[in-house]
Amino acid sequence: MLAMTATDDTIIHEPSLTAGEVEMLLFALDRSRATFAWKTGGLDAAALTRPHPPSAMTLAGLIKHLTRVEEETATWRLFGERPPPPWDTADNGWEWASAADDTPDELYTRWREAAARTRAAVAKVLADGGLDRLAGFTTADGRSPNVRRFLVDLHDEYARHVGHADLFREVIDGLVGEDPPQPG
């Protein structure tokens, strides 16, 4: 089993006990990201690409999928712009199948960079209208959800997949726990 220590993407910054809606929503999302980073971090390619029957899901697939979700949130959902290649493909299963072709470093780096782009995009839209600001995405019938909706959706996506990562990681090397170890 690998010894896991706190890294920049696993450190959780607790808000005050009386934090407002924006601060709590961003905290919940970053806490889920930190837990995901901890549950998927420090593994080699064999561990990341190991399927967990009866599912065909792998940790590599989860990392690449959440990278895609971050990229789509930072561009398409918040601003109505196409995400950059390769995330602009219409094939919604591509990231799961192609994850085995990526090195662990590529997977981890792309995910961290995508999460950083989403944080920057969220900061931009929050400074320009807050959670009630309409996002750039438009539904087929012409409606635009507000930023709050997309942040809740992003957090929900992490919540689902942190659960998967938790179970897969326990099978791989026995790592269990609710939150990543914190410094000090």
Domain tally, the chain: 1
Residue 109: its H or E element = helix 104-127
Hey, which residues does 146 pair with through a beta bridge? 134
Looking at the predicted structure, is the pLDDT value of residue 156 above 60?
A: yes
Looking at the predicted structure, is the pLDDT value of residue 155 above 50?
A: yes
Instruction: Quote the domain boundaries for residue 95.
Output: 21-173
Does residue 78 lie in a domain region?
yes
Does residue 89 lie in a domain region?
yes
Does residue 32 lie in a domain region?
yes
Does residue 5 lie in a domain region?
no
Q: What is the pLDDT of residues 101-132, one digit of tens each?
A: 999 999 999 999 999 999 999 999 999 999 99
Does residue 115 lie in a domain region?
yes
**CATH classification at residue 114:** 1.20.120.450
The mean pLDDT of 140-169, rounded to a whole number, is: 96
Looking at the predicted structure, is the pLDDT value of residue 47 above 50?
A: yes
Distance CA 61, CA 67 (A): 10
Does residue 15 lie in a domain region?
no
Is residue 117 packed enough to be buried (19+ CB in 10 Å), middle (13-18) or exposed (0-12)?
middle
